């Protein structure tokens, strides 16, 4: 009754169960390598002593922590919140836990966060996109920390993502098919952000194929305000009949600005989004956008990373995007 208040250790359990510490360790980590009878004794001792393995000791001895790190720009962006949520749910329960850090879309902060996660013993990393100092990839290679990139696709790294260029291209083509010729784009900040850049470039390229160019392009920070302000600015040019947005939040902001400016959507102007997050369904009219399988992507990324950590070779997975035609698109006003 007058036990030390400190926690029980393998030694305590071994003593109580009348076995060696090695056997206790086996019971916990490889139960099948122990005869049922002794296993029972040991587990009973574990329960009565309320034993929990010491994390630090375990990590030191086994050289793995069961911690997986993720660095995302911010969880305030629903896209990342959903992806990370799905990723976390797909981690083998009991075996892995998720350490998240946010970079605030800042490259330097991202680097620090990556270092911090590795310093915390992360067995593997989930990162967003490709754009980052090559030194980081070298460092990760030296440290032998496996990683998976998401929300993008590419050749040089293992990823679970999609083709931003192809996704936006489908949207631009649809807008062109509708008859629009005077089109503008509201893009997210492209510096150090290959997702935003891919969408902008993909849109420009598709327009170029049709011998056209944007009547205007605004590059703004993530948020409704940015989308709204950019829309108001762009629409000074009264010829514009369609505005392609780099993501749903910008599009929702643009939509709100349109309402406030007295413009009808889609009769007066077509507005399109990208991502298909929740809000795309509750604006009115509902947003025409590009669906990205965020949940599936999180799941695949988790599977992939766990494979890499287990030493298996991971095969990148390219997920499809899909055009979701809802209510914010229509032919330009003047068209028959």
CB of 42 to DNA, least distance (A): 9
Choose among DNA, its own copies, none what residue 29 binds, the Cβ cut-off being 5 to 8 Å by kind.
DNA
Choose among DNA, its own copies, none what residue 98 binds, the Cβ cut-off being 5 to 8 Å by kind.
its own copies
Choose among DNA, its own copies, none what residue 82 binds, the Cβ cut-off being 5 to 8 Å by kind.
its own copies
Residues 106-165 touching DNA, rule: CB under 7 A, are none
Residues 13-72 touching DNA, rule: CB under 7 A, are 18-26, 28-29, 33-35, 37-39, 51-54, 57-58, 60-62
Tell me the helix, strand and coil percentages in the chain, rounded to 5: 45, 15, 40
Choose among DNA, its own copies, none what residue 102 binds, the Cβ cut-off being 5 to 8 Å by kind.
its own copies
Of 64 and 173, which has the nearer Cβ to DNA? Answer: 64
Complete DSSP assignment for 73-125: S-TTSHHHHHHHHHHHHTSPTTT-EEEEEE-TT-HHHHHHHHHHHHHTT-SEE
CB distance 91 to 98 below 8 Å: yes
Q: At what angle do helices 10-17 and 36-49 cross, to 10 degrees?
A: 120
| CB neighbourhood size of 236 (10 A) | 8
Among 10, 68, 186, 269, binds DNA (CB under 7 A): 10
Of 92 and 237, which has the nearer Cβ to its own copies? Answer: 92
Q: Is residue 207 part of the contact set for DNA (CB under 7 A)? A: no
Tokens 């800042």 identify what position?
106
Nearest in space to 179 (alpha carbons), one of 266, 111, 66, 247: 266
Of 60 and 261, which has the nearer Cβ to DNA? Answer: 60
Distances (CA, A) of 313 to 143, 146, 304, 307: 18, 10, 9, 7
Choose among its own copies, DNA, none what residue 19 binds, the Cβ cut-off being 5 to 8 Å by kind.
DNA
CB of 96 to its own copies, least distance (A): 9
């Amino acid at each position: 009754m007058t036990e030390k208040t400190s926690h029980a250790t393998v030694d305590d359990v071994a003593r109580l169960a009348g076995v060696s510490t090695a056997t206790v360790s086996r019971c916990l980590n490889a139960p099948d390598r122990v005869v049922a009878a002794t296993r029972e004794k040991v587990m009973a001792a574990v329960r009565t002593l309320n034993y929990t393995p010491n994390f630090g000791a375990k990590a030191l001895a086994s050289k793995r922590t069961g911690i997986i790190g993720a660095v995302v720009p911010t969880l305030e962006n629903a896209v990342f919140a959903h992806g990370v949520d799905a990723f976390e749910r797909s981690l083998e329960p009991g075996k892995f836990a998720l350490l998240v850090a946010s970079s605030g879309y800042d490259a330097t902060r991202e680097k620090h966060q990556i270092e911090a996660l590795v310093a915390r013993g992360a067995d593997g990393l989930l990162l967003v996109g490709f754009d980052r100092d090559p030194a980081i990839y070298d460092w990760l290679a030296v440290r032998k920390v496996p990683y998976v990139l998401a929300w993008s696709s590419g050749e040089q790294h293992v990823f679970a993502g999609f083709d931003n260029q192809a996704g936006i291209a489908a949207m631009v083509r649809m807008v062109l098919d509708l008859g629009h010729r005077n089109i503008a784009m509201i893009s997210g900040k492209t510096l150090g952000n290959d997702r935003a850049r891919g969408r902008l470039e993909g849109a420009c390229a598709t327009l170029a194929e049709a011998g056209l160019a944007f009547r205007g392009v605004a590059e703004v920070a993530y948020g409704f305000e940015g989308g709204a302000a950019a829309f108001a600015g762009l629409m000074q040019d009264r010829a514009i009949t369609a505005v392609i947005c780099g993501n749903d939040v910008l599009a929702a902001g643009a939509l709100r600005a349109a309402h406030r400016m007295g413009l009808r959507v889609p009769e007066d102007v077509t507005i399109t989004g990208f991502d298909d997050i929740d809000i795309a369904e509750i604006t009115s009219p509902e947003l025409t956008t590009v669906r990205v399988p965020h949940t599936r992507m999180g799941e695949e990324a988790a599977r992939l990373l766990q494979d890499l950590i287990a030493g298996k070779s991971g095969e990148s997975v390219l997920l499809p995007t899909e055009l979701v035609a809802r209510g914010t698109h229509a032919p330009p006003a003047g068209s028959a």
